[in-house]
Amino acid sequence: MKKVIEAFFGLKPGEVTMTIGSDGADGHTARILGVEEGTPLIARDMTYYAEDGTPIQTVFDRFRGDRVRLEATATLL
């Protein structure tokens, strides 16, 4: 992702914030995921920032609880 940010935006990537929680499926999301409206979903929201704090990209993901596995690897500095 670092190379993409540098190539497309001309910015040096800084940090990413991520929030994981739950959310009820709205009508549109429910149709896409094949669930009923209001079904609890796992919600992951992320914002990518440049070194200077400029927000570059925000991502909103919704996952069915019965079909998801989240895994993370972090490099400790």
Domain boundaries of the chain, sorted by first residue = 2-65
The CATH number, out of the four listed (3.90.1150.10, 3.30.565.10, 3.90.1200.10, 3.40.1410.10), of the domain defined by the range 2-65: 3.40.1410.10
Q: Which residues contact 31 (CB under 8 A, 6 or more apart)?
A: none
Q: Residue 1 and residue 12: Cα distance in Å, rounded?
A: 11
Model confidence pLDDT, tens digit, residues 13-23: 889 999 999 99
Which range of 7-16, 31-40, 46-55 scores highest in mean pLDDT? It is 31-40
56 contacts 9 by C-beta, under 8 angstroms: yes
Mean pLDDT of 36-63: 95
Secondary structure class of 57 (helix, strand, coil): strand
Residue 49 has pLDDT above 70, yes or no: yes
